[in-house]
Amino acid sequence: MTNLTPNSSFSVTLRLKIPNRVGMLASVTQAIALTGGNIGQIDLIEQNRHNSIRDITVDAASGEHGETIVNSVKELTDIQVINVYDRTFNLHEGGKISIASRIPIKTVSDLAMAYTPGVGRICQAIAQKPEEVYRLTIKQNTVAIVTDGSAVLGLGNLGPEAALPVMEGKAMLFKEFADIDAFPICLDTQDTEEIIRAVKNIAPVFGGVNLEDIAAPRCFEIEQRLQSELDIPIFHDDQNGTAIVTLAALLNALKLVNKSINQIRIVINGAGAAGIAVARLLRKAGAEQIWMCDSQGIISTNRTDLNPEKLEFAVKAQGTLVGATQGADVFIGLSKPGVLTPEMVKSMTKDAIVFAMANPIPEIQPELAPKNVAIMATGRSDYPNQINNVLAFPGVFRGALDCRSKVITSNMCLEAAKAIASLVNTSDLNREYIIPSVFDNRVASAVAAAVKQAARADGNAQA
């Protein structure tokens, strides 16, 4: 497999003592370059007549690659490595989020109104009219990010503590992109009934619940049950967020190759939570030929090992992923690194569309994609066309909270996808730009507006 591109998630900063002689700094940069590091910022910390102390930031492709780069510098004569900082670990020290008060408390009267005795009046008002909780507390702008740690990123069942950094990051994104106050709830249970009970018990505080990194098939029942038993929107981002952004990218990709969604054959590799949700939303958008594959091959009507979710997409065809890709128009990967070979892609149609979204290593490296691939997308930020859920979930919840929708429906997801796709102008659309940047400040508001309109059309809006 092609070497991965260095990126900031594996970046290190080396603090070096370098003699003030011609060529010494150049020897450092050459050593880094020869080991494949990508040099970023170089800061001069201190300098005298004899030596300079510099911080050099370097992106690596993996933890092991970072160690190789550092060792190559340590081997240089007269260069002293004072310290090495892992920038990602440094960023996470102490956690990434905090709670801040909206209202300053500087006087006795401030305290009397914000807390006892004045707060008692607010409690009584809510007890008499429960709907006032949305006006008088944080509930109207607060989301619980709930996980059991059973499917953390692509890393597997790591448990609740190890899932916390992801949930903190999610909370940051909610605040940054939609000004929503979200808080991580990492449950120390993987029992379906206990998870449902726990979420129902904390629901009075929150205006919505974002389920995250809960393994399939358990996640399907948890989402369905919570949505039917609570009166606030429930959204499993691994399912629905992925589906929204995938559909948005596909709609624009199909424009480029001049194909219609109802005439193409789509292969989805990976039949977990994300794969099933993507297939459902693509079908709602008009896709008629979807072949799903799991680790056992094509999800066929002849198989006896299928759960109800997989049975929804069982087809008459049988065989492996190799056979499924032959003549396919679109490949969507939500599976494992390296499972899609260049030979398999060559067997697809002309102007093939390949979304290889396994992270951090995709099903096929973009560098290996053959010439019949018209459009390539991945889940990585260092390649064009990143399929990233942050394009969806902040705006989806912003819209749902603003209109007080009790649910997030498939129609709301469909309209969210169309809104994201519409932000790429036809004149700007090209094979390396089918989806907006995650930093496009139009995205969350466009998605929120589409979600609110769909909620009102469905009769789910309460405000």
pLDDT digits (tens, 9 = 90+) for 294-319: 999 999 999 999 998 899 999 999 99
Backbone angles phi, psi at 78, to 5 degrees: 75, 0
Pull the structure tokens for residue 70: 């550092």
- Neighbouring CB atoms inside 10 A of 450's CB total 23
Q: How crowded is the C-beta side of 255, counted as CA atoms within 13 Å?
A: 19
Q: Which of 62, 55, 42, 59 is nearest to 81 (CA)?
A: 55
Residue 156 has pLDDT above 90, yes or no: no
Residue 3 marked ligand-binding: no
Residue 388 marked ligand-binding: yes
- The answer to whether residues 32 and 25 touch, using CB atoms and an 8 Å cutoff, is no
Can you tell me the mean pLDDT for 162-169? 96
Residues whose CB is less than 8 angstroms from the CB of residue 21 and which lie 6 or more positions away in sequence, other chains included:
none
Averaged confidence pLDDT in the chain: 94
**Do 139-232 and 240-298 show the same overall fold?**
yes
Question: What CA–CA distance (Å, rounded) separates 452 from 421?
Answer: 17
Domain ranges of the chain: 7-92, 139-232, 240-298
Identify the DSSP state of 263.
T
Question: What CA–CA distance (Å, rounded) separates 25 from 67?
Answer: 20
pLDDT score for 361? 84
Looking at the annotation, which residues are catalytic? 115, 170
pLDDT score for 1? 41
pLDDT digits (tens, 9 = 90+) for 212-271: 999 888 899 999 999 999 999 999 998 999 999 999 999 999 999 999 999 999 999 999
* Homologous superfamily, domain 139-232: Malic enzyme, N-terminal domain (3.40.50.10380)
Residue 188 has pLDDT above 60, yes or no: yes
Report, at the CATH architecture level, how domain 240-298 is classified.
3-Layer(aba) Sandwich (3.40)
CB-based burial of residue 28 (10 Å sphere; 0-12 exposed, 13-18 middle, 19+ buried)? buried
Would you state the torsion angle of the CA atoms of residues 157, 160, 165, 170, taken in this order, to the nearest 10 degrees? 90
Residue 212 marked ligand-binding: yes
Q: Which amino acid is at 146?
A: V
Residue 2 has pLDDT above 80, yes or no: no
Question: What CA–CA distance (Å, rounded) separates 173 from 207?
Answer: 17
Pull the structure tokens for residue 381: 């930020």
**pTM of the predicted protein model:** 0.90
Query: What strands, in cross-sheet order, belong to the sheet with 208-211?
Result: 181-186, 142-147, 208-211, 234-236
Identify the DSSP state of 237.
I
Residue 3 has pLDDT above 90, yes or no: no
Identify the DSSP state of 235.
E
Domain 7-92 indexed as CATH 3.30.1280.10: no
Residue 393 has pLDDT above 50, yes or no: yes
Residue 213 marked ligand-binding: yes
Question: What CA–CA distance (Å, rounded) separates 254 from 243?
Answer: 16
Residue 71 marked ligand-binding: no
Distances in whole angstroms, Cα of residue 299 to Cα of each of 36, 261, 324, 363: 41, 21, 10, 19
